[in-house]
Amino acid sequence: MKRYELRGMNGVESLQVADAPMPTPGPGEALVRVHAVSLNYRDLLVVSGMYPGSPPLPLVPTSDGAGEVAAVGPGVDRVKVGDRVAGTFFESWVSGRLTERDMATARGGATQGMLAEYVVSHADALVRVPDHLSFGDAATLPCAAVTAWHALFEVAPLRPGETVLVLGTGGVSIFALQLAAMAGAQAIVTSSSDEKLERARGLGAATTINYKKTPDWEIAVREATGGAGVDRVIEVGGPGTFQKSLASLRVGGRLSLIGILTGFAGGVEVVPILLGSLHVDGIYVGSREMFESMNRAIARTKLSPVIDRAFAFADAPAAYEYLRSGAHFGKVVIRID
């Protein structure tokens, strides 16, 4: 069977197709025939050697994959042959709080990932996916969707009528927009592209702001909320957007710190947090239990993930380059059919 391997971390050119023996599931494990994977910004960090930690080399990259159970090992009754499943981002985080041990089981970074025709996974680290989703759709869920779900519903549940500020139109942000709309909340979306903002309005965004044309977008956000500020921010920008995101919040509002698109470090003016009684939560993907809760909501509402473009397995490096270009809206998928 074929899989991609990273033998070094010098960028997308480090991605190499390799032949590997068919893996065999051991006790408690399942063999999954992977039909699709999706890419996350993190996968760009991993191939460039910029993701924290020391991945085992050679590394099969990407955290997110979906497929069909092809065989199960001894003692497995959680899944059966033929089940349509996706892998959880952290193989060991089933429920409760994230632990350091769980962090050491992040697929496609700390442990082997999904960009392969077949993978063996612990059966506890698989979830059944909603029937209405294709394998490509399902492959978009494990990182971006679970992260948005965790931020909006697991820490302090978003309530109908609340307002959520969503930064940019990448994978996490478009799921946050869709989930906010599903919950009856209003979304304000920023983007560098007017064309993408128009698409965001089509998905239910009530207000859209071009952050290139309106560098003081936090003022526009406050104006759009009658001066009050938003209830929540899905903060994917990091140091370059953090202060403006704080300034966009209402008194007592909540910022979910998710991303580092503008870099890893920067200064923080702390006074707005204490004067505004703001809540700042670090969010790191989510547990299997969160993934399963989200899948129930997705199945009930027939939410359909937004896939910008799907690439063939042989074109995986081109898929990475496309993600890096930032031209996408929503998710980028690689099919392994």
Ligand X SMILES: NC(=O)c1ccc[n+]([C@@H]2O[C@H](COP(=O)([O-])OP(=O)(O)OC[C@H]3O[C@@H](n4cnc5c(N)ncnc54)[C@H](OP(=O)(O)O)[C@@H]3O)[C@@H](O)[C@H]2O)c1
Binding site for ligand X (CB under 6 A): 40-42, 143-144, 147, 167-173, 190-193, 196, 211, 236-237, 240-241, 258-262, 283-285, 323, 326
Handedness of CA 254, 258, 262, 268 (dihedral sign): positive
Q: To the nearest 10°, report the CA torsion of 131, 134, 294, 324.
A: 180
Q: Which is nearer to ligand X, 259 or 317 (CB)?
A: 259
- Bridge partners of residue 259, in order along the sequence: none
Of 63, 320, 305, 308, residue with least CA distance to 176: 305
Distance in angstroms (rounded) separating the CA atoms of residues 47 and 4? 12
CB of 282 to ligand X, least distance (A): 7
Amino acid (1-letter code) at residue 64: D
CA gap 188, 250 in Å, rounded? 14
Give the residue nearest to ligand X (CB): 170
Q: Least distance in Å: CB of 183 to ligand X?
A: 19
CB contact at 8 A, 266 and 246 = no
What letter would DSSP give residue 291?
H
Residue 253 C-beta: closest distance to ligand X, Å: 18
Q: Least distance (Å) from ligand X to the CB of residue 52?
A: 11
Angle, helices 171-182/288-301, rounded to nearest 10 degrees: 60
Closer to ligand X at the Cβ: 10 or 262?
Answer: 262
Cβ(40)–Cβ(143) below 8 Å = yes
Q: CB of residue 250 vs ligand X: minimum separation in angstroms? A: 20
Q: What type of residue sits at position 69? A: V
Q: How far is the CB of 144 from ligand X (least distance, A)?
A: 5
**DSSP structural state of residue 58:** S
Taken in order 178, 147, 193, 320, the sign of the CA dihedral is: negative
Report the residue number, 31 or 246, with the smaller CB distance to ligand X: 246
**Least distance from ligand X to the Cβ atom of residue 130, Å:** 20
134 or 147, CB closer to ligand X?
147
